[in-house]
Amino acid sequence: MPKVTIRPQKISDAKRFYEILNNPNFIYLTTHVGSIREEIKFLQKNAEKRRKNLEHNFTILYDGKIVGALGMKINQQRKYIGEIGYFIDENYWGKGIATKAVKELEKIGFKKMKLSRIEIIMDTRHKASEKVAIKCGYTKEGIMRKYIENAGKRSDVYLYAKVK
């Protein structure tokens, strides 16, 4: 059975992330990368973001191959709350990879980061992302209206959360 692992992101992940993120089928993703150089600049900021406890970003590996990424943003007003976000290469959708990766990051969030609440926010139309939250045991707490902006349009999102 193929193994899903996560590790801190590296600058050398930039090209692969750029390839994955520029898939036109990523219609619910609000992160768009203009160039590999732009992705490198983002990755270069990871160490400082981690040190300041702003974000903790990881690469998702499937049998050792980079297939996506996920991260935990820390709420700066309520540092006991984290928000998980993730993306997976379309060629690996539907294999349970995001679910396994989220469970790994959740362990880090609750144990190492000492969070007491973790949230997952997704576009209400993004059924696959909602399925990940449900499989990981998150509870739907509601709808936040016009919460995210993507391609100039604001969309409603579901708020799922798990508390320790």
Under a CB-based contact definition with an 8 Å cutoff, are residues 67 and 61 in contact?
Answer: yes
Q: Whose CA is closest to 98, among 146, 11, 29?
A: 29
pLDDT at 147: 94
pLDDT digits (tens, 9 = 90+) for 8-52: 999 999 999 999 998 888 777 767 788 999 999 999 999 999 999
What value does the mean pLDDT take over residues 122-134?
95
Domains of the chain: 4-163 (3.40.630.30)
Residue 90, number of CB atoms within 10 A of its CB: 14
Helices (H), the chain: 14-21, 36-44, 46-51, 97-107, 127-135
pLDDT at 1: 67
Residue 150 φ then ψ, to 5° = -145, 125
pLDDT digits (tens, 9 = 90+) for 73-124: 999 999 999 999 999 999 999 999 999 999 999 999 999 999 999 999 999 9
